[in-house]
Amino acid sequence: MASSNVGFHSLASCLVFFLLPWTFAEGGKLLVIPIDSSYWLSMRPVVERLRRRGHEIVVLVPEINLRIGLSGHYTMKTYSVPYTKEYVEAEELIKSLGESKFEAVFMDPFFPCGQIVAEHLSLPSVYLVRGLPCSLDFHATLCPHPPSYIPRFFTRYTDRMGFLQRVGNLLDFNYGCALCWQEFEAIVNASGEHGIVVFSLGSMVSEIPIKKAKEIADALGTVPQTVLWRYTGQVPPNLPKNVKLVKWLPQNDLLAHPKTRAFITHGGSHGIYEGICNAVPMVLMPLFGDQMDNAKRIESRGAGLTLNVLEMTTKDISTALQTVINDKKSVIETQPFSFYPV
């Protein structure tokens, strides 16, 4: 009995010994490009499982990020931030990625960096995505999404819809994006000669303490512009008439509108590039990460003014906003500015 057990064990070890190299030999080389958000928490287990199956994995992340840390499951490569420009220019990095001979890219396609890299390296990609605005994910994948059965974003419907819900879903399906843009356009049109101010603290922060929100609301009431504020927190009781709170706004489209006079932003790299491209002066309220540096750079080029979020008063906000809107000298010769990298 004992001897047959020993025999079994050595046979098993032999099998393992011979099979192991096979498992590794079948492993591929995978480049992973996540975005720094909670969606990484869904990607990470997939990456770990792939590693356990013997694949070799490199995760490409911004040098400053909140959620993606080192791990024994993958090699991490970083690129500097703000990255929109440096990313393309990081020749060394791109060259080394090319030389690594990856077989595929696994990415979160919410921001298009992953797709650009995959296209550049001529690699097939696999997306892990919750959804993209305007059902772009369905269109891009040619995936059927009948409105009778597949609920649209923000409708809160499930796949079991009653008649009226299906009608609502159908309308949202056909007109969703066009309608919301028309609503924004109507607000912009109604703003008259003074135009509008676009205010968003980015996709990660849309709620702020109510005390701060009240101070900000008071300041916004001191300008004649209509302010479109992306904000989902408790509505400040002193919200002035010229301020419209929205849960989402088409930031780049609004910034591109000739009636847009200023952009209040936290100074994230996407936002500031959109501000620069559209030559809109900015009031910067940096919160964390690369935002302080971004804000100071924008300020040093005369494209905006930076506020200290913790210390700013109603008066500070109001003065900064009025300055960027009215004082052409202190703000920008925005046109030439848009040609310089920050």
Closest residue (Cβ) to ligand NAG? 189
Judged by CB under 6 A, the chain residues 187 through 226 that form the site for ligand NAG are: 189
Angle at which helix 314-326 crosses helix 210-220, to 10 degrees, equals: 40
Question: Judged by CB, which is closer to ligand NAG: 116, or 179?
Answer: 179
Q: Tokens 């009025």 identify what position?
A: 322
Least spacing, CB of residue 58 vs ligand NAG, in Å: 48
Least spacing, CB of residue 185 vs ligand NAG, in Å: 4
Question: Judged by CB, which is closer to ligand NAG: 183, or 327?
Answer: 183
Residue type, 2: A
Q: Say how far apart CA 287 and CA 203 lie, in whole Å.
A: 12
Q: Say how far apart CA 193 and CA 184 lie, in whole Å.
A: 16
Single out the residue of 112, 292, 90, 54 nearest to residue 77, CA to CA.
90
Least spacing, CB of residue 192 vs ligand NAG, in Å: 12
Question: Judged by CB, which is closer to ligand NAG: 188, or 243?
Answer: 188
Question: Judged by CB, which is closer to ligand NAG: 28, or 192?
Answer: 192
Token pair listed for 111: 């921001």
Token pair listed for 113: 């960096």
Least spacing, CB of residue 193 vs ligand NAG, in Å: 13
Least spacing, CB of residue 184 vs ligand NAG, in Å: 8
Strands (DSSP E) along the chain, which ranges?
29-33, 56-62, 75-79, 104-107, 125-127, 196-200, 226-230, 243-246, 260-265, 282-284, 304-306
Question: Judged by CB, which is closer to ligand NAG: 186, or 277?
Answer: 186
Question: Judged by CB, which is closer to ligand NAG: 90, or 177?
Answer: 177
Least spacing, CB of residue 132 vs ligand NAG, in Å: 25
Question: Judged by CB, which is closer to ligand NAG: 180, or 324?
Answer: 180
Three-class secondary structure of residue 79 per DSSP = strand
Least spacing, CB of residue 338 vs ligand NAG, in Å: 24
Least spacing, CB of residue 61 vs ligand NAG, in Å: 41
Return the H-helix or E-strand segment holding 113.
helix 113-120
Number of neighbours of residue 211 by Cβ within 10 angstroms: 9
Question: Judged by CB, which is closer to ligand NAG: 87, or 184?
Answer: 184
Q: Buried b / exposed e across 12-50, counting CB within 10 Å, b at 16+?
A: eeeeeeeeeeeeeeebeebbbbbbbbebbeebbeebeeb
Judged by CB under 6 A, the chain residues 42 through 81 that form the site for ligand NAG are: none
Judged by CB under 6 A, the chain residues 175 through 194 that form the site for ligand NAG are: 182, 185-186, 189
Residues lying near ligand NAG in the complex (CB under 6 A) are found at 182, 185-186, 189
